[in-house]
Structure 1
């Protein structure tokens, strides 16, 4: 064989080898893609484990919720009407007092002496007036003299009353019954008129002040029940009654002020406390409810997954998930009201729906269920 023939033979063998290698590479790629597609197809059709609940109708009390604060029926920061030096303090911080109890007195200085002098002048004017009355009856004095005597007596009595009022202003009394706050002054301290001495609050009953949206005005009326909860006493619900509804709507918040009254027999509550309120706006109704964990919230609509038998409709065909859109109402605790999309008796997925799509095969395991409590009370740790 010639040299050129040998070269051609080597080239043919090399080309055949390269072709075989390329065929093996591309063949393996195609085969791998087929295996991956089969694997993914099998994985996609793998049954997903979910928890479900049977939708049913439950009593639902329509309420509107808000937040507010407690306010004393009567509350004041007490002060003296006139200036002076504190002479006596007749109360202790935090004690209960009755209306009219003396709390503090200012140093009287010469006030009693001035009062005694004015009373003596008034007595003298009374004697002169009585004497001139007898003289006038005997035509011994003129009518003008008698009128002057009467005016002097009235002026003297007025001066006595004015001095007595000035002395009374140096005595600070409780304007109503209640509980005192922390004392702000000391004996011997000079007080300007209006300087705060101590706060006084009437603790029973208390006002509950809150605001509600303007669209709720037509459903509000005095006498309605208000459920009040306070984080200071978790798990405890208190009752109040609406006594007043504001006359105007706040133009900034478009809400209306509402005031309720609540008993505070144990005096455990304090004015200024933050509270959560719920107002019953109508009679209870029957509503379809679901745990809020069953809802998939999104911008294009809220959905849930229903568990149904496969297209054959027979139990042996297995279970599949069906995604449906729902219209939601109010919420309470862990529950949400479903207005449309779910009917009583439907099996609704409450856990595991993140793994689902429409038509996914499912297996139901209800050993663990999410909370579905209308009034949850989480531990406060």
Structure 2
């Protein structure tokens, strides 16, 4: 009996001791594993920065206007008897586009010409008779007035006949035709839109802070969504003389050659007014900048004492922007290597791996709503 009383407590102590020892051993191994486990390595794209000539620009959003553009319309009423163009035709200046019925006006013109001929002969006859004293001066004056009135009446009818021929006021390209043969038109009825787009104008606005930078003749570079891989160049041709005091902006107009008619009226354009080159600056891609509540920062590439590359978060001060580049005025030095893509996974001291093949997914085209 006494042996069992000693054996049971002893067995219990041994079991508990084994469990406690196992847990201590397990905790020790876990700590050793965690101590030897390498932190995750983040793939990033990097670049070495250096100073380079900086081309400053004033950026804006503008829209395209034609060199000349009007709605061709009728000045008189009547039925259309002839159409001499089709939608999309290129026409010359003074080319006849539409003929409105002029039969009545032509008849009236012939009648007025006949009256003018009679009045002319009467005036000539009275001019000869007054020398002989056969007519009075009043008779001669009346004959002259009748002749001049007949001539003016004929000219008036002829002018109306000319208005019944609707012509192109300048060389250009027509839009969609809005009338048909036999259609009755009223004064102001739209025939078609006509534009001269051999060169176009881009109208945009600049802030009053940039007004002093804008001058006539400055180079203008613009891009449109329809041709994302092309750049169109021109120059500033006009600057508004009055500023919009409510918004603090000034309208500016640029002229852009358009020989292939790629730029169409109404297109929106991203406009850059190129300013004189400044001294060399450190400029980096906007994708390399991290914005947070504490300011603006960039991740610089460093190497720790084990030879592993890590990210070092550096506060920077930004300056002027141009396209996808921004000037860094403080915080970085020439020769520094910075992370340009892959910032979302990083923090100060993160392990990184330089990989030029790493690229963030880029949206080629913004989905339309």
Report the TM-score when normalising by structure 1: 0.82
2:313 corresponding residue in structure 1: 323
Q: Distance in 2 between matches of 1:38 and 1:253?
A: 66
Consecutive unaligned residues of structure 1, counting only runs of 5 or more, are 2-8
After the TM superposition, which of the residue ranges 163-172 and 33-42 deviates more from structure 2? 33-42
Native 8 Å contact 2:221 2:272 kept in 1: yes
Task: Name the SS of the counterpart of 2:46 in structure 1.
Answer: strand
Task: Kindly state the Cα deviation for residue 127 of structure 1 after the two structures are TM-superposed.
Answer: 1.5
Find out whether 1:130 has 2:117 as its counterpart. no
Q: Distance in 2 between matches of 1:109 and 1:352?
A: 78
Q: Distance in 1 between matches of 2:285 and 2:339?
A: 10
Native 8 Å contact 1:350 1:369 kept in 2: no
Q: Distance in 2 between matches of 1:113 and 1:46?
A: 97
Q: Distance in 2 between matches of 1:24 and 1:334?
A: 66
Task: Kindly state the Cα deviation for residue 363 of structure 1 after the two structures are TM-superposed.
Answer: 5.4
Native 8 Å contact 1:62 1:280 kept in 2: yes
Native 8 Å contact 1:350 1:370 kept in 2: no
Q: Distance in 2 between matches of 1:288 and 1:306?
A: 14
Task: Name the SS of the counterpart of 1:135 in structure 2.
Answer: helix
Consecutive unaligned residues of structure 2, counting only runs of 5 or more, are none
Find out whether 1:339 has 2:333 as its counterpart. no
1:193 corresponding residue in structure 2: 187
| Aligned residue among 42, 53, 61 for 2:47 | 53
Native 8 Å contact 1:291 1:370 kept in 2: no
Q: Distance in 2 between matches of 1:356 and 1:112?
A: 86
Q: Map Cα deviations across residues 249-292 of structure 1 (whole Å, 9 max, x no partner).
A: 23454322111111122233322223222110222442212333
Alignment of 1:119-158 (within 5 A): 119-158=113-152
Alignment of 1:1-381 (within 5 A): 51-310=45-304, 319-332=309-322, 334-360=324-350, 362=351, 364-368=353-357, 370=359
After the TM superposition, which of the residue ranges 76-85 and 273-282 deviates more from structure 2? 273-282
- Bigger share in strand: 2
Relative to structure 1, the CA distance from residue 43 to residue 353 in structure 2 (aligned partners, 3 Å threshold; closer, same or farther) is farther
Report the TM-score when normalising by structure 2: 0.84
Q: Map Cα deviations across residues 134-178 of structure 1 (whole Å, 9 max, x no partner).
A: 222222222222222211111111111111112111110111111
Native 8 Å contact 1:106 1:171 kept in 2: yes
Cα RMSD of the aligned pairs, angstroms, is 3.6
Q: Map Cα deviations across residues 158-199 of structure 1 (whole Å, 9 max, x no partner).
A: 111111112111110111111111111111111111111111
Task: Kindly state the Cα deviation for residue 322 of structure 1 after the two structures are TM-superposed.
Answer: 2.8
After the TM superposition, which of the residue ranges 224-233 and 285-294 deviates more from structure 2? 285-294
Q: Distance in 2 between matches of 1:231 and 1:17?
A: 82
